[in-house]
Amino acid sequence: MIKKTFSSNHYLMILFTLIFTALVLRLIPTGEIDVKDAFLGRNIFFGVGILVANIIQGLTGFAGSLLAMPPSIHLQGLATAKVAVNTYGLISSLIIFSQNYKQIDWKQAKKLLILMGIGLVSGIYLSNVVESRILLKVYAVFIIIIALKEMFYKGDLDFGDIALTCIVLLAGIFQGLFVSGGPLLIIYVAKKLKEKNQIRGTLCFVWIFLNGYMMVNQILTGQFTPHNILVTTIGLPGVFLGVTIGGYLATVLSKEKFLKVVYILLTVSGLSLFL
């Protein structure tokens, strides 16, 4: 086996993460929130959870938000988790888009933006009128189904154009509800797009707009509270460091074997939401 080493970009990202963390600890205002409390207890576990989720995201290109949301909901609550994970998704999409923007399928990107946008608005509306306890149960079932499908059924799902359109709309709804429309959207792009970098570039273009819209909506509706901003900031180093480590591990580990662990974690995460 050829020995793999970190590139200079890997070291720069790790250095940036360490400097960023130091600045956060130094500069966060102490008036409304106790910094000592913020960086102890559940927020440490939250930061570790975000790190692990983004390592897996960087390694597999899948399941980052799905893995991040359940522990984030348990530790921070649904509203805070949505603000944080949506912000992380926007940052990750911008990074990947900058590397694959020349590969975008503009025809599919426009179609996805329209359909996902309709679903996204519907999901945001539902999140405001349906009791969160019910939504969490629906989300738990969704996670478990996705995980079990990936563990036990490796074949392609055969859907017609009408069914695929409905799946994209549903992906938008789950994106608006739980920032987790990706697994459903993959079903569509696997049928319509075949080249790996084309898929990454097109999807990230769509996510930038959708996550950006969600962020604007969250800001306008007062969801970017001092507490939510602080919690989101706590997880940011885990995003950058996790994606960097995951990208490195992708060069030395078997993606297929690691995915089995990911799907087991997804199942456990889904089951934990019933507790």
Looking at the structure of the chain, the number of domains it has is 1
240 within a domain of the structure (yes/no): yes
Residue 170 has what pLDDT? 92
Range of the domain at 71: 8-272
Q: Which of 97-106, 205-214, 265-274 has the highest mean pLDDT?
A: 205-214
Q: How many other β-carbons are positioned within 10 Å of the β-carbon of residue 97?
A: 19
Distance CA 20, CA 47 (A): 14
Residue 8 has what pLDDT? 54
What's phi and psi for 193, nearest 5 deg? Answer: -125, 135
1 within a domain of the structure (yes/no): no
Distance CA 244, CA 13 (A): 7
Q: For residue 4, is pLDDT > 50?
A: no
Q: For residue 238, is pLDDT > 80?
A: yes
Distance CA 14, CA 228 (A): 25
Distance CA 199, CA 213 (A): 21
Give the residue, 192 or 274, on which the prediction is more confident. 192
Q: For residue 50, is pLDDT > 50?
A: yes
Alpha-carbon separation of residue 161 from 122, 135, 174, 193, 206 (angstroms): 21, 28, 20, 14, 20
Mean pLDDT of 194-223: 88
Residue 3 has what pLDDT? 44
Residue 109 has what pLDDT? 93
44 within a domain of the structure (yes/no): yes
Residue 34 has what pLDDT? 52
Q: For residue 60, is pLDDT > 70?
A: no
Residue 5 has what pLDDT? 47
Q: How confident is the model at residue 80 (pLDDT cuts 50, 70, 90)?
A: very high
Distance CA 48, CA 51 (A): 5
93-107, 166-180, 200-214: least confident range: 93-107
What letters, b where the CB count within 10 A reaches 16 and e where it falls short, cover 205-237?
bbbbbbbebbbeebeeeebeeebbbbbbbbbbb
Averaged pLDDT of the chain: 80
Q: For residue 1, is pLDDT > 50?
A: no
Residue 242 has what pLDDT? 86
* 156-205 confidence digits (pLDDT tens): 667 889 999 999 999 999 999 988 888 888 888 878 887 777 887 888 88
Give the residue, 196 or 220, on which the prediction is more confident. 220
Residue identified by tokens 């297929």 is: 256
146 within a domain of the structure (yes/no): yes
3 within a domain of the structure (yes/no): no
Q: For residue 261, is pLDDT > 90?
A: no
12 within a domain of the structure (yes/no): yes
Give the residue, 88 or 34, on which the prediction is more confident. 88
pTM: 0.77
* 6-24 confidence digits (pLDDT tens): 555 555 555 555 555 555 4
Among the listed residues 157, 207, 154, the one whose alpha carbon sits nearest the alpha carbon of residue 180: 207
175 within a domain of the structure (yes/no): yes
2 within a domain of the structure (yes/no): no
The DSSP symbol for 33 reads S
